[in-house]
Amino acid sequence: MKRADGEKRVRTEGLWLKCERCGQIVWRKALEDNFQVCPKCGHHGRLDARTRLAMLFDDGKFEEFDQCLVSTDPLEFVDSKKYSDRLAASQEVTHLRDAIISAAGNLNGRRVHVCAMELKFVGGSMGTVVGEVITRAIERSLQQKVPLIIISASGGARMQEGAISLMQMAKISAALMRLDEARVPYISVLTDPTTGGVTASFAMLGDLNVAEPGAQIGFAGPRVIEQTIRQKLPAGFQTSEFLLQHGFLDAVVKRGDLKNYLSKTLDFFLQPAEPSVFGNAEQREAPQQSPVTRAS
């Protein structure tokens, strides 16, 4: 920019970010290139769903499914603002219809289905659309005998949809049971944060449950637990490392190592991958949609 006296001034606002853990000042571009991992202390910042998918799929290429589903606001819920207004605001910010992206593509040459949750969309909460999209992804994996990966980042079930959102826990869990019976691998990746009804259902039902370093994982918040049991919680409570130590997780994997870790795990479950070419998602027949969601 140029001031009135003719002196030039370079605008640096937003070009540098401060690490939440170590306080190191990091160039934004360097942080983005490192997938939001601090180069000094290794702190894993939060990552949006689309970037996660691009990170895992070969050449960042994937096809998306069920993009037309939106909530019908079944309860016409209103708190400090209308639920419909919250949805509209989140849709404008994230450019998504709801808090999840369902995609398919190649991971180190192997075709996989991946569902990635978007925390910026109403806190990544699970409503009817999220439940329907995940269930459809499970059904596609079951039909095609293709491994499924779900990346969780959520505050839990969406209160604005009441009991209907809680029903998604049972719906997804039942579909995962069918996937398990068919011996199709399902890997759950838990990121910061994964809480509430998501933790209490599909996030902990993987054949393998892995998490990123330092992720907060639990059901209720630590403050609520302390007030309930009237005891001080141990240091690191509800972190991925704490859960691994106490047997709730199978592994804690750094973000940069995740793709190869998942690839090797699927080679163990199945056989070494053969090159695959994925077709057009629109050419595939979609499972019947739930009556509480609609296409738009």
Tokens of 131: 């439940």
Mean pLDDT over 97-121 rounds to 98
pLDDT for residue 277: 56
Residue 172 has pLDDT above 90, yes or no: yes
Least confident of 107-121, 128-142, 190-204, 264-278: 264-278
Quote the crossing angle between the two packed helices 49-56 and 258-269, to the nearest 10°. 60
Q: Are 99 and 117 in contact (CB under 8 A)?
A: yes
- Listed by start position, the domains of the chain span 1-43, 46-295
pLDDT for residue 10: 55
Q: Which CATH superfamily groups domain 46-295?
A: 2-enoyl-CoA Hydratase; Chain A, domain 1 (3.90.226.10)
Least confident of 44-48, 162-166, 274-278: 274-278
pLDDT for residue 272: 77
Name 181's Cβ contacts closer than 8 Å, sequence gap at least 6: none
Q: What is the pLDDT of residues 141-169, one digit of tens each?
A: 999 999 999 999 999 999 999 999 999 99
> Residue 197 CB: number of other CB atoms within 10 A?
20
% of the chain at pLDDT higher than 90: 82
Mean pLDDT over 170-187 rounds to 98
- 77 HSE (CA, 13 A, CB side): 19
Rounded Cα distance between 109 and 156, Å, is 33
pLDDT band at 286 (very low <50, low <70, confident <90, very high): very low
Residue 16 has pLDDT above 50, yes or no: yes
Give the rounded distance of the alpha carbon of 261 from its chain centre: 17
pLDDT band at 14 (very low <50, low <70, confident <90, very high): confident
pLDDT for residue 149: 98
Return the HEC string of 152-170.
EEECCECHHHHHHHHHHHH
Residue 275 has pLDDT above 70, yes or no: no
